[in-house]
Structure 1
Amino acid sequence: MDVSAIAAAASANAAARVQAEASVRVLKMAMDMQAESALQLLEAIPAVAASAQAVGSTAGGVVDTWA
């Protein structure tokens, strides 16, 4: 194995490492964005207690299971 082949292999290894690190960073950014979106969706859900008080305490309290 000559010097140029070793240098090419080392260069390819370094390029692969840089590409892998970039991929991991992009994945982390995407996961952070998804977590923020999920948190916004969860915060947008109205509180159950507030809606139950507005409708009344008996609404939805009985489930008819006869089919």
Structure 2
Amino acid sequence: MDTSVVSAASNAGNNPVPLLMLRKSLDMQAAGVAALLQGMPQVPPSSNPPHLGQNIDIKV
């Protein structure tokens, strides 16, 4: 996100335009993230036996 939009919104005073621009920018970013998440493939459930992944062996 462009930081100049945030600083302009914080200095807007009675001018609603920078705040509206910030809200629109955040909405557009949210829509972009939603589209990316929709495009990700679904991960199938693990086919490992149930005893795998329960313990961690650590040696230093």
**What TM-score results when the alignment is normalised by the length of structure 2?**
0.55
In the alignment, which residue of structure 2 is the partner of 1:66?
A: 57
Identity of aligned residues (%): 23
In the alignment, which residue of structure 1 is the partner of 2:8?
A: none
Structure 2 gaps, min length 5: 1-12
**What TM-score results when the alignment is normalised by the length of structure 1?**
0.50
Distance 1:17 1:58 in 2: 60
Deviations 1:19-65 (A, max 9, x none): xx00111011101111011101211221122xx4xxx7227x72251
Which runs of structure 2 are paired with 1:1-67 in the superposition (5 Å)? 16-18=13-15, 21-49=16-44, 52=45, 57-58=47-48, 62-63=52-53, 64-67=55-58
Which one has a larger percent helix, Structure 1 or Structure 2? 1
Secondary structure of the residue that 2:28 maps to in structure 1?
helix
Structure 1 gaps, min length 5: 1-15
Larger relative contact order, structure 1 or 2 (CA cutoff 8 Å, min sep 6) = 2
CA RMSD of aligned residues (A): 2.4
Q: How many residues align?
A: 44
- Larger Rg: 1 or 2? 1
- Superposition misfits of 4+ residues, deviation over 2 angstroms: none
